[in-house]
Chain A
Amino acid sequence: MKFIKKTDIFIILIVIIISFVGFFIFKIILSNKPAKAEIYYKSELVMVVDLTETREKTFSIPQNNNVVFHVFTDGSICFSESDCPDKICIRTGKLNTIGESAACLPNEIILKIVPYDKENKNDIDLIAS
């Protein structure tokens, strides 16, 4: 009796194919997965906002009630109100792309869009503006 039969090789091949297919499906799902937003106050991460929920909402961070954020149903987020003089944070507009960020300098708040899970080498590292 041979140790490896034809059917064994067949099973092994199937297993390999299934794991490859599974891996690529996993990768595609991962790369299509929308981003999340991180809000930093004085360089500390104070809030993470899931941008996959398709629910509109308006909120502030506990550290500063004068700065208001808004999440839209299309998964984008922006600074909607701020008491700073230059309003550059509001003018930056809606963010939804990995690598984008908006900052309110006088209030020391930064809003960043980051990958939902692990980074991909083709993700944008930074957006120059």
Chain B
Amino acid sequence: MLSFFFEVRCLSKRIVSIFIIIIINCNLIACDANKKQRHEIEFFMLFDTVTQVVAYTETKEEFDNLSSIIYNSLKEYHELFDIYNNYENLNNLKTINDNAGIAAVKVNREIIDLLNFAKQEYENSDGLCNIALGSVLRIWHEYREYGIEFPESSSLPTMEELKFAAQHTDINNIIIDEKSSTVYLADAQMSLDVGAIAKGFATERVCQLAIKKGVTSALVSVGGNVRAIGSKYRNGEPWNVGIQNPNKEHSKKIIYTTLLDNKSLVTSGDYQRYYIVDGKRYGHVIDPKTLMPAENFKSVTIICEDSAKADSLSTIVYNMPFEEGFRYINDIPDTEAIWVLQDDTIKCSDNFEDYIMK
């Protein structure tokens, strides 16, 4: 009888031990798991680039709802800011370009807002960000496309043709009539190219709409124009966004991982859209002063809250020598920048460190 009792006790001990192991393991695993699941989607058809949306949500439906708000709104901006295609019953930037020197075009408020923002950035940057540069950019675009397809016979545009086109790049010839909501290009040979600001502007507007509709946490990237809505989790864990190393073959793919909470991050660089002539690389960001590709840096990345501002600043600072850009950024509150120089030296603005994951 006593031995039977002893055995039962031994057994119960074992059972208790096993239970303890299971319970502890369950607890530890549960601690690590977040109830919310990561969801991610890509869209291809907007702004000639890839749009990524990432969010942690409890259900797939919640994520689908969130991503469709972003998709639908972004699609509207894509059509409005399109300079290549016409859409039925819609006056967009192409309509304005097509009517240069002919007629004023009635457009939506969003286009007027974009153009006003662009004019303001032109003033702020002393002309380094110019959406009226279309005629010059078109020439570079054609040479670049040709050079990528036929690398053996790639060439540079002549200074004569660039200078000739540059006679039609005066931003003051964009005549905006706020009252009647029309835009008129007073120079028949000029054209708008909003590549430097439209994506950032649209991204900001779309995210503001999402916030208004109750989205508290999401990460949106429209071709590298990254906008973090809120933080990643409810407890304030920030989004981790890597800044690409412009040296593609380098084993270190990311120069820094930044921590973003309700911030935007935009990179301008010459490492993706470029072509090669006689062994030299020519990027797609054209300096309005020289009419040639800017070549001060391999890349410039801006962090600030407003995605539109981050986008225009990345182009502006990319077109400035380092010292000038450094002063320019440090004078703007809550705005930081990181430069990768042609010799791979990395420079940061005064408080950039605050955003780096240690």
Taking beta carbons and an 8 Å cutoff, which residues of A are in contact with B?
8, 11-12, 15-16, 18-20, 22-23, 27, 40, 42-43, 85-88, 91-97, 99-101, 103, 105, 108, 110, 118-119, 121-129
Taking beta carbons and an 8 Å cutoff, which residues of B are in contact with A?
13, 17, 20-21, 24-25, 28-29, 32-33, 38, 41-44, 48-50, 52, 54, 145, 148-149, 219, 221, 224, 226, 232-233, 237, 239-244, 248-249, 253-254, 257, 265-267, 269, 271-273, 301, 357
Q: Which of A40, A85, A94, A128 contacts B221 (CB 8 A)?
A: A128
Which chain A positions have C-beta within 8 A of B239? 125-126
**Secondary structure of the B side of the interface?**
mixed
CA distance A36 to B148 in the complex (A): 31
Q: Quick check: B21 and A128 within 8 Å, CB to CB?
A: no
CA distance A16 to B236 in the complex (A): 31
Assuming A16-B24, A97-B242, is B219 touching A129 (CB within 8 A)?
no
Q: Quick check: B272 and A92 within 8 Å, CB to CB?
A: yes
Q: How far is the CB of B148 from chain A (nearest CB, A)?
A: 6
Which chain A positions have C-beta within 8 A of B54? 125-126
CA distance A40 to B269 in the complex (A): 26
Q: Quick check: A121 and B237 within 8 Å, CB to CB?
A: yes
Which chain B positions have C-beta within 8 A of A97? 242, 253-254
Q: How far is the CB of B186 from chain A (nearest CB, A)?
A: 34
Q: Quick check: B13 and A8 within 8 Å, CB to CB?
A: yes
Q: Which of A15, A23, A124, A127 contacts B28 (CB 8 A)?
A: A23
Which chain B positions have C-beta within 8 A of A122? 240, 357
Q: Quick check: B241 and A126 within 8 Å, CB to CB?
A: yes
